Amino acid sequence: MILNKKNFNAVVVVEGKDDTIRLKQFFPGIETIETNGSAVSEVVLSELKKLSKSREIIIFTDPDFNGERIRRIVTEAVPSAKQAFITRKEGEPEKRGNSLGVEHASKEALERALSDLHEVEERQSDLTEEDYRRLGLAAGAGSKQLRERVGAILSVGYGNAKTFYKRLNTFGISLDELTHAVEEANSGK
């Protein structure tokens, strides 16, 4: 398993101490940096830029609006950062009233997310906005639910129509890969 202290040279960016506690519960040697909310400070960004010169950076934020905002800010500062995602379902709390979060994910979900990392691809995706709409991922009945299922299949998380399209292109997901994922998502309704 890649997540033992000996082989895991990455620093994982999380939102807060509850995320750190949850990760350390299953992966005692893991190192995290907490953003302490969606207003990521220049001090944290500076530290991440410095660390990225010698260590792998993994962004692992909650599957919600603030998590996506933090992901964007950190990715802009450290473009080489790898991306880990859990689904919204995997981040659901057991108690009503709590928000979605990494701190609620199971060990299996955390292992999957940290072993199935994505990074900004040099290669350009052949996916066009027209293809994206034609596949039913934007501006249609059920497109939100379809994006959620496809995001889980591709392990790229959930996003609104614009964010999800951009993410697919950023990670170099091809039209063929996306078509297969949509077919799989539609067959498992």
> In this predicted structure, what is the pLDDT of residue 6?
40
Predicted TM-score of the model (pTM) = 0.79
72: helix, strand or coil: helix
- Of 137, 112, 118, nearest to 127 (Cα)? 137
pLDDT band at 189 (very low <50, low <70, confident <90, very high): low
The per-residue pLDDT for range 66-88, each reduced to its tens digit, is 898 999 899 999 999 999 999 88
Sequence-separated contacts (24+) of 133-136 with Cβ below 8 Å: 135/178, 135/179, 135/182, 136/182
| Tokens at 60, concatenated | 């692992």
> In this predicted structure, what is the pLDDT of residue 5?
43
pLDDT band at 8 (very low <50, low <70, confident <90, very high): low
| Contact between 27 and 108 (Cβ < 8 Å) | no
* Domain definitions of the chain by residue range: 10-115, 129-187
Listed in sequence order, the residues at least 6 apart from 160 whose beta carbon sits closer than 8 Å to its beta carbon are: none
- CATH 3.10.450.40 assigned to domain 10-115? The reply is no
> In this predicted structure, what is the pLDDT of residue 2?
42
pLDDT band at 169 (very low <50, low <70, confident <90, very high): confident
81: helix, strand or coil: coil
